[in-house]
Structure 1
Amino acid sequence: MSVRDIFTDGQAPIYIIAEIGVNHNGDMDLALKSVDEAARSGACAVKFQTFRSEKLVSKHAPKAQYQIQNTMSSNSQLEMLKQLELSFENFINLQKYCAGKGIDFLSTPFDEESADFLHSISIDAFKIGSGDMNNIPFLKQINRYGLPVMLSTGMADLDEIRAPLAALENCEVALLHCTSDYPAPLQDVNLAAMETLKRTYDRITGYSDHTDGIEIAIAAAALGAKIIEKHFTLDRSLQGPDHAASLEPDQFSAMVKAIRNVEMAKGDGIKRCMPSEEATRAVARKSLIIAGNLPAGHVLTGADLAVKRPGTGIEPGFYEKLIGRQLMRDMERDELIRWEDLM
């Protein structure tokens, strides 16, 4: 499936994104191996981050606390990001490699030059991170491309989402609920806000997951997320800002399998007897039966009727309609009554 299916097909499967991000550590070989493993894990897409470090952060920008902890260094954001930056040529090669592996290539742009580059290589959709939700000039640039946008909404109040949606007026926009901490504490996840986004803005909704483990992403799928994004790494012990809050391939594969099972189990919402229940229905439901041996011509009274299994005869709800009817034939105790047995 393609990311565009999410915006055009209401029955499209959940779109699962392996967020490699900067977990390649600036190493193209590691990036390619990550694509291989994400494809094997069942992801619909891999997503990277495209940026020019000097255009993303100032030399004075400090690192977030989780970045200091996970990189075991207090150097600046700029110094950290320079080590994690891939060239535009690298991304062209990654896009081609993904096509060969049958997995969608996506990347989040963090500056105007990077957005122009991604558009120039005919990316199918843009993913915009939570940090650019209030970057209206940047969003207006994205709007000019007219491509589908997946917009993360971490750190935002409900009303703050109106402005970016207005800036993206020419784009189909999916809103991703998100808690921007790494890992995100469960008490701050607030999955119910995903339904609030859908109800308020009438958009496709999804979930960008930064929690430990896989259960919250699975819960989001059960609650109706059409897009699930989760950080992906080959090894959580690697040094880098996001590895510790990511899933390794085996975990990611287990998450994908669980999401697909939840998706299958959700069904179409029509309450009905399912094919697998038919046999049980026949033996577990009850029918009207003859309570004792009765001769042909006998006029039925309430005392002549009982309700017992199986459920293959006249349903108990027709009890009143049988009172006063005559039997067409002799009947024995515990026989199911058929309409053809009655005058």
Structure 2
Amino acid sequence: MKYIQPVSIGNYTIGPGHPPFIIAEIGVNHNGDREAARTMIRAAKRAGAHAAKLQSFRADSIADRYLIEKKDIEGITGGSKSAYDMYKALEISDEAHMELFSYALDEDIVLLTSVFDEKTADFIDACGVPAFKIASSDLTHLPLIHHVAKKGKPVILSTGMGTLREVEDAVETCYKAGNTDIVLLHCVSSYPPPDSDINLLSIRTLQEHFPHPVGYSDHCEGMTACFVACCLGAMVIEKHFTLDVDWHGPDQRISATSDQLKWFIDDVAHLKVLLGDGIKRPGVSEQEGVVPSRRSLRIKGTIRQGEVITEDKIIALKPEIGIKPAYIRDVVGRKARVSMGNHEPITWDKIE
């Protein structure tokens, strides 16, 4: 079995033998309202998530004023389609960040955030974040990845829009910074993506190529893809999270509600039991059904002592109280040691 280097975030371990680490991606669904963010952190904890996650940025450092945003943002920008105006409306102040990290600590839930520039990364580091998230959009922003990785905390890399070579470059950048605490997330940077683009088998590709935990960051409606990802061995699930899918904002429609997230987490907790250990053997509950369900060789008609047993004198019937049908070739041609009646089980002691 390939070695996977476990990663610790807070009191949790991400790696083989541990349950999937569930991140409730608040992202920008708070719409710039710190009270909404507090409420969502609390709701994520109540739903059973291991971590809540924000996105930390400054509009001036992430987008120019002429970039047009394709998502539905008019409700939070007052009608503007400017990406800069969107980011400006969704910014969280430094003071709000500090308050939210303190609040998450009180709520006993890990608070993570995506960082989009070096200055913000330095501030978030000072807030005590236990790991850094690099968004798919910055998979090729190797200077930012290097800056973050040098801080010595785990780095979670989303890989949306990326090629395998680009993922390799990002991972190698972390190595050059002296950091091997890496988590890779398969992701599709569409909101939502068509089913034909989700390509969950990429999880296995990443598992085969890297000695690091692999997870899935989901942008689909519903939870089906997340559950399938867990079946494929995803060790982290990041799912956008909201209190109301009808709120304004670019990501509300693809987000899970508290009830949806709780149902998913409960199902995932049961998944380990359903998957088992992979050893092919009868289950405990099957044991009592083996004998009545399986067949054994019987005499068809009658046979006298000393008579050669031919195939036309044999029938396979339930239950399994004689020789298994698999051994019929070892029975045909032998002589009967005793006379046997119709449907009498053939056992090894009754044949020569």
User: Which residue is equivalent to 2:43?
Assistant: 37
Give per-residue Cα distances to partners, 1:223-256, cap 9 Å, x unaligned.
Answer: 2322111100001111222222212222223333
Greater mean alpha carbon deviation, residues 123-132 or residues 258-267: 258-267
Return closer, same or farther for 1:331/1:32 CA change in 2, 3 Å cut-off. Answer: farther
User: Which residue is equivalent to 2:246?
Assistant: 237
- CA distance in 2 between partners of 1:313 and 1:122 (Å): 69
- Retained in 1: the 8 A contact 2:188–2:218? yes
Give per-residue Cα distances to partners, 1:11-56, cap 9 Å, x unaligned.
Answer: 1112221101121222222122212222232322111112233333
Return closer, same or farther for 1:33/1:325 CA change in 2, 3 Å cut-off. Answer: farther
- Residue 11 of structure 1: which of 17, 40, 48 is its match? 17
- Retained in 2: the 8 A contact 1:5–1:12? no
User: Which residue is equivalent to 1:246?
Assistant: 255
- Retained in 1: the 8 A contact 2:73–2:86? no
* Secondary structure, aligned partner of 2:281: coil
User: Which residue is equivalent to 1:164?
Assistant: 170
Greater mean alpha carbon deviation, residues 237-246 or residues 331-340: 331-340
TM-score (norm 2): 0.84
Deviation at 1:338, TM superposition (A): 4.0
Structure 1 position 21 matched with structure 2 position 27: yes
Return closer, same or farther for 1:9/1:154 CA change in 2, 3 Å cut-off. Answer: closer
User: Which residue is equivalent to 2:94?
Assistant: 88
- Residue 139 of structure 1: which of 141, 145, 162 is its match? 145
- Aligned-residue CA RMSD (Å): 2.9
Aligned residues between the structures = 340
- CA distance in 1 between partners of 2:262 and 2:55 (Å): 22
Structure 1 position 66 matched with structure 2 position 71: yes
Unaligned segments of structure 2, at least 5 residues: 1-6
Structure 2 counterpart of 1:224, one-letter code: G
Structure 1 position 223 matched with structure 2 position 232: yes
User: Which residue is equivalent to 2:119?
Assistant: 113
Unaligned segments of structure 1, at least 5 residues: none
Structure 2 counterpart of 1:38, one-letter code: A
- Retained in 1: the 8 A contact 2:69–2:81? no
- CA distance in 2 between partners of 1:266 and 1:327 (Å): 48
Greater mean alpha carbon deviation, residues 277-286 or residues 163-172: 277-286
Structure 2 counterpart of 1:309, one-letter code: K
- CA distance in 1 between partners of 2:330 and 2:131 (Å): 63
- Retained in 1: the 8 A contact 2:309–2:336? no
- Retained in 2: the 8 A contact 1:207–1:217? yes
* Secondary structure, aligned partner of 2:73: helix
- Retained in 1: the 8 A contact 2:73–2:248? no
Deviation at 1:150, TM superposition (A): 1.4
- Retained in 1: the 8 A contact 2:303–2:336? no
Deviation at 1:221, TM superposition (A): 2.1
* Secondary structure, aligned partner of 1:26: coil
- CA distance in 1 between partners of 2:279 and 2:19 (Å): 18
Return closer, same or farther for 1:209/1:286 CA change in 2, 3 Å cut-off. Answer: same
TM-score (norm 1): 0.86
- Residue 181 of structure 1: which of 190, 193, 196 is its match? 190
Deviation at 1:130, TM superposition (A): 0.9
Identity of aligned residues (%): 35
Structure 1 position 280 matched with structure 2 position 289: yes
